[in-house]
Chains A and B, each alone.
Chain A
Amino acid sequence: MLAALMGIGQATFASEIIFDEKDLKVTREVDGGLQTLGLKTPAVVTADLRLNEPRYASLPNIMKAKKKPIDIISIADLGVDAENRVQLIGVELPPERKAGIKVDDVAQLVDKLKNEAKVI
Chain B
Amino acid sequence: MSVLIIAEHDNKELNQLTLNAVTAARELSDDISMFVAGSECHDVVSQCCKIEGLSTVLVCDSPHYDNAMAENTANLLASVVEEFDHILATSTTSSKNIMPRLAAHIDVQAISDVSTIIDESTFKRPIYAGNVIATIKSSDVKKVITIRSTAFDAAKNEGGSAEVVNIDALSDLGLASFVSEEVAKSDRPELTAAGIVISGGRGMGSGENFTLLDGIADKLGAAIGASRAAVDAGFVPNDMQVGQTGKIVAPDLYIAVGISGAIQHLAGMKDSKVIAAINKDDEAPIFSVADYGLVGDLFKQLPEFEQAL
Contacts and interface: CB of A to CB of B under 8 A. Distances in A.
Contact of B220 (A32, A34, A120): A120
A65 interface: no
Contact of B309 (A15, A103, A110): A110
A82 to B, nearest CB: 11
A50 B174 contact: no
B181 A100 contact: no
A103 B253 contact: no
B294 A89 contact: no
Contacts of A9: 71, 175-176
B131 interface: yes
B222 to A, nearest CB: 9
Interface in B143-186: 174-184
Interface string B105-123: 1001111000000000010
Contact of A119 (B127, B274, B288): B274
Interface stretch (A37-45, A56-64, A69-77): A37-45
Contacts of B108: 85
A29 B238 contact: yes
A99 B274 contact: no
Interface in A1-36: 1-5, 7-13, 15, 25, 28-36
Contacts, number: 193
A54 interface: no
A107 B196 contact: no
Interface string A77-119: 0000000111111111110010111110111011011000101
A29 B93 contact: yes
A100 B309 contact: no
B30 interface: no
Contacts of B122: 89
Interface of A: 1-5, 7-13, 15, 25, 28-40, 43, 49-50, 84-94, 97, 99-103, 105-107, 109-110, 112-113, 117, 119-120
28 contacts: A1-B104, A2-B104, A7-B175, A12-B70, A31-B94, A33-B183, A34-B181, A34-B182, A36-B179, A37-B178, A49-B245, A86-B136, A86-B139, A90-B135, A91-B127, A91-B134, A92-B132, A92-B135, A93-B131, A94-B131, A97-B275, A100-B275, A101-B292, A103-B293, A105-B294, A109-B305, A113-B253, A120-B220
Given A31-B247, A39-B175, 14 more contacts: A1-B110, A4-B105, A11-B176, A31-B92, A31-B239, A35-B182, A36-B179, A43-B175, A85-B140, A89-B137, A99-B287, A110-B308, A113-B276, A117-B253
